Amino acid sequence: MENKIRFGPAGNEELFYLEGNKSSKQAPAWLRSKGLSAYEYSFGRGFTLKTETANEIGLEAEKNDILVSVHAPYYINLANESDEMAEKSFNYIIKSLEFLKLLKGQKAVVHLASQGKLNRLQALELTKKRLFTCLEKIYDIYDMTNLYICPETMGKYLQIGSYNEIIDLCTIDRCLIPTFDFGHINCILQGKLKTSDDYRKILDLAFEKLGDFKTKNCHIHFSKIQFGEKGELRHLNFDDLEYGPEFLPLASVLKEYKMTPTIICESASKMAKDAIMMKEIYSTLNI
């Protein structure tokens, strides 16, 4: 992996279409023209992308120095009690990697599991066990050179994926790198992710448990998110003044720690605009 911090959107924002673009094939050149260098393609609702189109997006991404990441389907659940359903989840992760390779990317973001009727510990144990089995299957197909599976920190209490859990799960294999979704983490903390020290606490734990490489090159999702008593409710954009988190305190820690993550903005409909704003905040910091 290269030593470069990158900013970009998840998907195509409204301005992309307003400026006359129609297809994701045009996204890499458009993002470059805006000064961005990352792009997350979502298979959250399934695999509707054609192989041929994925290939073309991948070539465009390479040409424009846009690093693509993919988001695996939302319906993956490694803690599903049915082995048959778990097997389906394995295949969705494998298929996400297949597309990731076509898109010339490196990181596949995955929501690992939901607690369901199990208690937390049972769900965690099952997730870990299934993750081992899934990785065995993956290594039968790919050697995972420059390919990473990035389990994401989740925003609802019943989902598996507190930052402690994700950091712990990422210790089990070299190809697992965390996705820190700081919007989600702020929902779980009920709005208490505020200062640089709050961010340091999370990243320090990652450095301690996962080491330099995985932490410096982690994947980051950043957006403001409205929350309620069960956690995440709705993605907002940077115009919102009520809910957090704010990027500036994180930006200064990223700079201080010389980190080189890919930072993907998932703001509601303005993810490229807000990614540009994050890049500006980061670039103007004098540390």
Round the CA-based radius of gyration of the chain to a whole number and report it.
18
**Nearest residue relative to Zn ion (C-beta):** 152
DSSP label of 156: B
Residue 207 buriedness (CB in 10 A; 0-12 / 13-18 / 19+) = middle
**Omega before 245 cis (within 30°)?**
yes
Nearer to Zn ion, 13 or 152 (CB): 152
Nearer to Zn ion, 180 or 199 (CB): 180
Nearer to Zn ion, 152 or 165 (CB): 152
Nearer to Zn ion, 152 or 274 (CB): 152
Nearer to Zn ion, 152 or 232 (CB): 152
Q: Provide the binding-site residues for Zn ion, judged by CB under 5 A.
A: 152
**CB 26, CB 59: distance < 8 Å:** no
Closest approach, Cβ 152 to Zn ion, in A, equals 5
CA atoms of 125 and 78, how far apart (whole Å) = 10
Closest approach, Cβ 116 to Zn ion, in A, equals 19
CA atoms of 267 and 238, how far apart (whole Å) = 7
Give 26-32 contacts, CB < 8 A, sequence gap 24+. Answer: 26/60, 27/57, 27/60, 27/66, 28/57, 28/60, 28/61, 28/63, 28/64, 28/66, 29/60, 29/63, 29/64, 31/64, 31/66, 31/272, 32/64, 32/65, 32/66
Closest approach, Cβ 212 to Zn ion, in A, equals 25
Helix (H, G, I), strand (E, B) or coil at 21: coil
Nearer to Zn ion, 152 or 198 (CB): 152
Closest approach, Cβ 22 to Zn ion, in A, equals 26
Closest approach, Cβ 42 to Zn ion, in A, equals 8
- Of 152, 59, 143, nearest to 102 by C-alpha is 59
CA atoms of 40 and 78, how far apart (whole Å) = 23
Closest approach, Cβ 46 to Zn ion, in A, equals 15
Which residues share a beta bridge with 263? 7, 220
Closest approach, Cβ 109 to Zn ion, in A, equals 6
Q: Structure tokens of 99?
A: 């597309």
